[in-house]
Every structure is written in structure tokens, then in C-alpha cells.
Amino acid sequence: MCGHVHIQETIKSILNQTYKEFTLIIFDDCSPQDPTQYIHEIIRNDSRVIYYRSKKRLGMCKASQTVLNMSCVDTEYFAWISDHDVYNILWLERLMALMIQNNNAAVAYPFIEGIDNDGKNNDRKSTVYDNSQESIYNRLNSFSRLGAGSGNIIYGLFRYAIIKKIGGWPTLITPDVILLYEVNCFGSINQCPEYLIKRRDQKERVGSGVNLVLRQINGIYPNNRPLYSYFNYKIVNCIYLLYHIPLILDGKKIYRYKYALCASYLYMKGLYVPKIKNTIRTLQRIEQQ
């Protein structure tokens, strides 16, 4: 929880959803601005809200895993909610309808609008990606070419059984990307063609000049960094996919390792091939001048 300035607006937008049958778990990862008093007022008026304030800082990945583990075992759908974004009142209803319509869907997410700290629209672009008609290999392949955009999909609505089996956010740099690679092994990513989330670019993040990797390191490992976090995160993530996917998939071992090898290869290919192509295009432009 770091979007304390906007948390009231975010909570209000969730509680005002047209679909009412849900539980909102608010996990406070030792935020410096303690919102306990405000949230307790909400709890007194709405039994759907559960609040827990951690005794020590866990970091964004472990905090996300904790929220997942706090959910009831009979949960069917699950979503992580950002503490500073604004959700259209139809957000949950539309995404649930899309998940029910497609039994193969692992996650459904909508178009997003970008807003600034004051709630005014900015030039942030929505992710446009749907692989609902593709096979596992084609899903992994097309996702590897997506580039930016995982941060919008990760705040979609997931099938709880799938996300629980995966284990939630891995404690790695770019955890949303790695999680979605694994999600693609279980089902498809479906996009609802409606603008249902306003994603906020916070002042402390925009133009801060802080490297993305360094910012994630600070957010993921608030206490002691594990040894693997000092190595190249791309290599670490590649090894993680190769190791972890066979553990979570069912079926014959040969198929589990085939998809693990495929995912790790396409992950590295997706990172480096676009850069190589851009370098070639740059060199070609220089030669033409």
C-alpha cells in the first residue's frame, strides 16, 4: 500500500461495483501513512471488507502472495487491486461475464485509460492483447512479442485455482511478466473491449529518474536481498521458468519440460530480438544519411 493519497477513491470505486458478491481484502504492507482509522470506518459499514496491517514490511511480491493466501478456499475468481487506480462500476461484472463465457480463459482484463496524479487523462496507452484463440505454444510466442503491457494485464480477473497453483507473484524482478508466462501455460489471456480502469501515474514515479530495475529491487526486497537478486535478472528469470513450470503443470514429464523450455526460450527471445532489430534499423538509417 503506497497510494495513500488516492486510496479512498480506489476503495470507493471497488465497493460501488454493480456486481456486489465479493470480498475486498486490504493488506497494508507497513505504509508510513497509517490508514487504519479510515478503513475501520469502512469495515463498520461494509462487511465485505477485511483489513490486515503487516507487522513488518514484506515487499510487493510477498505482500501479493499473502493476499492470495488470505482468500477463501472456495474462491472462484481473484484480482489484485492497485491502491491508487480508479475502477469503473462495471469492471467486475464485465470481466466475470467474459470469464464465464470462455472456459479456457485464465485471466480477463479491460482497456485502460491513463490519468495523472490529479485525475486528468494523460497519454498512457492501453495494452491491446488477446490470445483467446491460440494454442499454448502460440500464446507463449505472441506474449513474448508483447513488450510493455504486462502491468495492465496483471490487474485483471484471474481464475483462482490457476493463480493459486502457480503461487502468485514470484519474488523476482518483473514478476508480472514471469507470472503471465506461467498463466499462459494454463489458459488464455482475454481482453474486454471496454475502458474499465483508470490507471494512475503517481508523481513519485513519473520522471523520478530511478531505474526501473532499481525501483523494483527496492520494492520487492525491502529488507535483505537474496543472493540471486545480484545476478542478471533476465538470466535468473529464464532459469526460474525452466525450473518452476514443470513443478506446477500436470501431465507427462516430457510435455511439462517442453513447455518450460519453450517459455524460457521465448522469454529470452522476446527480450533480445527486438533490441537487435532496433540496432540494425538504426545502423541502416545511419548508412542512408
Q: Are 77 and 158 in contact (CB under 8 A)?
A: yes
pLDDT of residue 129: 96
pLDDT tens digits, one per residue of 235-256: 999 999 999 999 999 989 998 9
- Full-model pTM: 0.89
Query: Worst-scoring range by mean pLDDT, 8-22, 179-193, 237-251, 257-271?
Result: 257-271
CA dist 1 and 32 (Å) reads 9
Given pLDDT bands bounded at 50, 70 and 90, which one contains residue 175? very high
* Domain residue spans of the chain: 7-200, 232-288
- The CATH architecture one would assign to domain 7-200 is Alpha-Beta Complex (3.90)
CA dist 217 and 59 (Å) reads 9
pLDDT tens digits, one per residue of 24-70: 999 999 888 778 888 888 999 999 999 999 999 999 999 999 999 99
CA dist 91 and 160 (Å) reads 17
Which long-range CB contacts under 8 A does 66-72 form with residues at least 24 apart? 66/27, 67/25, 67/27, 68/163, 68/164, 68/168, 69/168, 70/25, 70/27, 71/23, 71/25, 71/160, 72/23
pLDDT of residue 204: 43
